[in-house]
């Protein structure tokens, strides 16, 4: 696993492990860059949990910052009402994107007293100072500040583009802990009364404290490219005051946007087909490289998703169907299953490099499709392949298990009768009748596809 401090971090999966991700800004809850990050940390959490760790995952949401306030005001809502709405929306989205249900979404407003405590502590230690009713962190009081290899502090040209006279900070690198409230904040009641006056906690304090409040301790932080500096340094410093030192810091890259491609999440889901397709696409490239959001790239991953899903469907039917005499697994099947399993483990363990797993998956899919279409695939072998695919999916969460074909034996009698009738019509080359029966099946909520191994029946997604 890569560490933002330059090297690799080895995370011990033996004990409890807390993963914290910086969530979307509340004025832009559908930000696809944020969701790429959330899906990545979800996969990390699933993987570590399967490796035996006791994993807790939380997503930090800054709901007291200027962006949230101005979004609420633009929507003509109180801050609390606006936040409640957005939070509900984010949670619904998380569910539809199959984030682990135990993922905690932690708004900063839930832990204001802790935020103030940390500020008092920093002031008490002399690491922070008050000026004109705002509280700032003094970066010169932290020897390690700037050591994260994110930015060479000596080369930072401080004040190059800033008129230093506009700052009340002692040093331009110092960052705000508590910001004095504006008159408008005061009027709308979006302030916190403290010994320093009416203030609001800064983004850094909000995110830092939300993490502590949700998890108690942060072991792995998943951030975005544009959080790298100074956000990560600032979080580190605040956490350090609370005695918390994350072991690993990850930062993923943003989407590579293309002219004319809509990047709101719903449009992306439509283009990648469904939630599983979106997850697959979000995970398709190395997280430390930009993810191409071009039309071609999206449709490519939609097709790739479909291919994997189809293979899972084929296996589902083949595992029960005929040819299951003998428990012998052909050697090439055992090898393919082993390769798939090893490929995933290797990819996950080496810096979550799933981009190196996809070729293995496609190889597996192609092999399986070959066996499947040859028609003499032993049921036990199909079952083994399917089990491995499902094991992989427990980490990846890309397959749509609700869209699996229904084995003939499990269909309602009436539906099965229609399917049989349609097969008879097809045999008799009465295609008009066959198409009519397909329409009747659709009306009963089923979709039929013909394959060399007989008709494949799916339950249509319930609307």
Residue 435 contacts RNA per CB under 7 A:
yes
Q: What does the DSSP assignment read for 80-127?
A: HHHHHHHHHHHHHHHHHTT--TT-EEEEGGGGHHHHHHHHHHHHHTTS
Segment contacting RNA (CB under 7 A): 35-43, 107-115, 123-131, 175-183? 175-183
Q: What does the DSSP assignment read for 15-69?
A: SEEEEEEE---TT-TT-HHHHHHHHHHHHHHHHHHHTT-EEEEEEEE--SSHHHH
Q: What is the DSSP letter of 182?
A: P
Residue 307 contacts RNA per CB under 7 A:
yes
Residue 458 contacts RNA per CB under 7 A:
no
Shortest Å distance, C-beta 160 to RNA? 4
- Identify residues 206-225 at the interface with RNA (CB under 7 A): 225
Helix (H, G, I), strand (E, B) or coil at 234: helix
- Contact pick of 46, 56, 79, 231 for RNA (by CB under 7 A): 231
Residue 291 contacts RNA per CB under 7 A:
yes
- Containing 217, the helix (H) or strand (E) segment is none
Non-local (6+) Cβ contacts of 325 within 8 A are 378
- Contact pick of 82, 145, 196, 203 for RNA (by CB under 7 A): 203
Shortest Å distance, C-beta 409 to RNA? 21
Binding mask 125-154 for RNA (x = CB under 7 A): --------------------------xx--
- Contact pick of 132, 162, 394, 401 for RNA (by CB under 7 A): 162
Residue 256 contacts RNA per CB under 7 A:
yes
Binding mask 10-49 for RNA (x = CB under 7 A): ---------------x------------------------
d(CA 210, CA 201): 12
Nearer to RNA, 254 or 341 (CB): 254
Nearer to RNA, 288 or 341 (CB): 288
Nearer to RNA, 102 or 450 (CB): 450
Segment contacting RNA (CB under 7 A): 183-191, 295-303, 335-343, 403-411? 295-303
Nearer to RNA, 401 or 428 (CB): 428
Shortest Å distance, C-beta 54 to RNA? 31
CA-wise closest residue to 79 among 158, 161, 173, 192: 192
Shortest Å distance, C-beta 231 to RNA? 6
Burial tier of 107 (Cβ tally within 10 Å: 0-12, 13-18, 19+): buried
Question: CB of 118 within 8 A of CB of 111?
Answer: no
**311 token code pair:** 């293979």
Q: Rounded to whole angstroms, what are the CA distances from 205 to 109, 153, 175, 227, 382?
A: 11, 22, 10, 14, 53
Non-local (6+) Cβ contacts of 423 within 8 A are 454, 455
Shortest Å distance, C-beta 3 to RNA? 14
Structure-token match 């304090």, residue found: 205
Question: CB of 258 within 8 A of CB of 293?
Answer: yes
- Contact pick of 15, 159, 189, 375 for RNA (by CB under 7 A): 159
Residue 204 contacts RNA per CB under 7 A:
yes
Nearer to RNA, 31 or 219 (CB): 31
Dmax over CA atoms of the chain, in Å, equals 89
Binding mask 372-411 for RNA (x = CB under 7 A): xx--------------------------------------
Binding mask 308-337 for RNA (x = CB under 7 A): --x---------------------------
Residue 175 contacts RNA per CB under 7 A:
yes
Residue 292 contacts RNA per CB under 7 A:
yes
Shortest Å distance, C-beta 138 to RNA? 15
Residue 160 contacts RNA per CB under 7 A:
yes
Residue 453 contacts RNA per CB under 7 A:
no
d(CA 376, CA 236): 59
**84 token code pair:** 């409640």
d(CA 205, CA 386): 47
Region label for 98, one of left (φ > 0), alpha (ψ between -120 and 50) or beta (otherwise)? left
Q: With helix as H, strand as E and coil as C, how does 144-161 read?
A: CCCCCCCCCCCCCCCCCC
Nearer to RNA, 129 or 217 (CB): 129
Q: What does the DSSP assignment read for 244-280?
A: ---SEEEEE--EE--TT---SHHHHHHHHSSHHHHHH
Question: CB of 100 within 8 A of CB of 42?
Answer: yes
Residue 431 contacts RNA per CB under 7 A:
yes
Q: Which residues bind RNA (CB under 7 A)?
A: 25, 62, 65-67, 151-152, 155-162, 172, 175-176, 179, 200, 202-204, 225-231, 254, 256, 284-286, 289-292, 294, 296-297, 299-300, 303-304, 306-307, 310, 353, 355-356, 358-359, 362-363, 365-366, 369-370, 372-373, 426, 431, 434-435, 449-452
């Amino acid at each position: 696993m890569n560490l933002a401090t330059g090297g690799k971090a080895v995370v011990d999966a033996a004990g409890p492990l807390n993963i914290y991700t910086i969530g979307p800004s509340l004025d832009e809850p559908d930000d696809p860059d944020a969701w790429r990050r959330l899906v990545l940390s979800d996969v990390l959490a699933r993987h570590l949990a399967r490796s035996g760790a006791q994993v807790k995952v939380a997503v930090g949401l800054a709901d007291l910052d200027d962006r949230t306030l101005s979004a609420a005001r633009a929507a003509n809502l109180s801050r609390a009402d606006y936040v409640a709405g957005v939070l509900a929306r984010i949670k619904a989205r998380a569910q539809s994107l199959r984030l682990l249900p135990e993922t905690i979404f932690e708004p900063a407003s839930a832990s204001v007293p802790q935020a103030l405590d940390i500020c008092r502590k920093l002031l008490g230690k002399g690491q922070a100072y008050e000026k004109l009713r705002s509280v700032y962190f003094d970066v010169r009081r932290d020897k390690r500040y700037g050591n994260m290899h994110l930015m060479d502090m000596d080369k930072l040209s401080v004040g190059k583009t800033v008129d230093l006279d506009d700052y009340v900070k002692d040093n331009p690198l110092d960052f705000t802990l508590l910001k004095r409230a504006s008159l408008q904040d005061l009027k709308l009641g979006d302030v916190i009364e403290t010994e320093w006056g009416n203030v609001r906690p800064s983004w850094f304090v909000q995110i830092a404290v939300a993490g502590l409040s949700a998890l108690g301790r942060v072991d792995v932080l998943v951030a975005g490219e544009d959080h790298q500096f100074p956000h990560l340094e600032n979080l580190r410093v605040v956490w350090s005051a609370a005695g918390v030192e994350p072991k690993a810091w990850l930062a993923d890259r943003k989407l590579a946007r293309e002219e004319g491609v809509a990047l709101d999440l719903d449009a992306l889901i439509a283009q990648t087909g469904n939630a599983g397709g979106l997850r697959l696409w979000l995970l398709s490239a190395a997280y430390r490289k930009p993810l191409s959001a071009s039309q071609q790239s999206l449709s490519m991953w939609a097709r790739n998703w479909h291919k994997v899903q189809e293979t899972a469907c084929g296996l589902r039917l083949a595992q029960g169907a005929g040819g299951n005499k003998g428990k012998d697994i052909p050697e090439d099947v055992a090898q393919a299953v082993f390769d798939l399993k090893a490929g995933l483990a290797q990819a996950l363990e080496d810096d979550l490099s799933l981009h190196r797993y996809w070729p293995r998956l496609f190889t597996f899919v192609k092999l399986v499709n070959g066996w499947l279409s040859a028609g003499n695939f032993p049921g036990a072998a199909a079952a083994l392949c399917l089990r491995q695919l499902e094991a992989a999916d427990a980490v990846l969460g890309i397959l749509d298990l609700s869209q699996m074909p229904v084995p003939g034996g499990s269909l309602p009698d009436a539906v099965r009768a229609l399917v049989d009738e349609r097969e008879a019509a097809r045999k008799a080359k009465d295609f008009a009748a066959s198409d009519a029966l397909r329409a009747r099946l659709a009306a009963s909520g089923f979709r039929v596809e013909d394959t060399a191994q007989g008709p494949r029946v799916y339950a249509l997604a319930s609307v």
